[in-house]
């Protein structure tokens, strides 16, 4: 189980970081459009759809990374008061009731949706540039698959926690971490230095 967790975490983090570069491309496209529209008075036809596809790529492909790094917004007012073993049981139940049906449907039906788009070489119907969108639609089943793989890793984490009574350490970097955790860790490190 632990080796699968490491595999899923590495895959999710690497895909999330790779697709995070879409932000740079999106910013470049936006700056280019602003320059063309306001400096040269020659706005482009394709930039709006291009920006939409870049934003969609970021949104779709960040899901598994966000799940892996525990960066999703949680309303854990009551949840955090439970023991870690109880938290793991709650998570396992909720993964099977809500998470897996949704992401498996996303992967399965997203594949059919993307396959049809590839078959007809679909272009954007609301754009005068008729930009191709079938490649962007391929990210839907890919996103669902990555979320499913990461979800399996999260269930394995829950099983380990149920068996041991504590959550296994996450091997992921601390790019996305709750402010409360960062402040607590910084405070603890500061206290250790004061003792030394």
Question: What H or E segment, with its residue span, contains residue 134?
Answer: helix 134-137
Q: What is the pLDDT of residue 169?
A: 86
* pLDDT number for residue 178: 60
Which residues of the chain fall short of a pLDDT of 70? 172-180, 191-196
pLDDT of 175 reads: 59
pLDDT for the residue numbered 189: 76
Query: What was the pLDDT predicted at 186?
Result: 78
d(CA 89, CA 82): 11
- DSSP 3-state assignment of 106? helix
What is the model's pLDDT at position 185? 76
| pLDDT for 76 | 80
The pLDDT tens digits of the residues spanning 117-161 come to 999 988 887 777 788 888 889 999 999 999 999 999 999 999 999
* Alpha carbon separation from 27 to 21, 39, 60, 132 (Å, rounded): 10, 17, 18, 20
DSSP-derived 3-state class of residue 90 = helix
Task: Compute the Cα dihedral for 168, 174, 176, 179 and give only its sign.
Answer: positive
């Amino acid at each position: 189980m632990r080796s699968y967790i490491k595999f899923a975490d590495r895959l999710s983090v690497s895909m999330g970081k790779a697709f995070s570069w879409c932000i740079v491309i999106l910013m470049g496209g936006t700056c280019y459009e602003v320059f063309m529209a306001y400096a040269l008075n020659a706005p482009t036809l394709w930039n709006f759809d291009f920006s939409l596809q870049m934003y969609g790529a970021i949104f779709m492909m960040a899901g598994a990374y966000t799940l892996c790094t525990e960066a999703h917004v949680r309303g854990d007012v009551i949840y955090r008061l439970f023991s870690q073993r109880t938290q793991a049981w709650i998570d396992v139940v909720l993964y099977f009731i809500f998470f897996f049906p949704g992401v498996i449907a996303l992967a399965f039906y997203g594949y059919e949706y993307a396959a049809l788009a590839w078959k007809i070489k679909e272009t954007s119907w609301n754009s005068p540039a008729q930009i191709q969108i079938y490649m962007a639609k391929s990210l839907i089943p890919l996103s669902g698959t990555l979320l499913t793989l990461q979800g399996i890793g999260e269930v394995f984490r829950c099983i380990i926690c149920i068996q041991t009574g504590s959550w296994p350490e996450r091997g992921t970097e601390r790019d996305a971490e709750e402010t409360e955790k960062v402040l607590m860790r910084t405070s603890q490190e500061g206290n250790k230095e004061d003792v030394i």
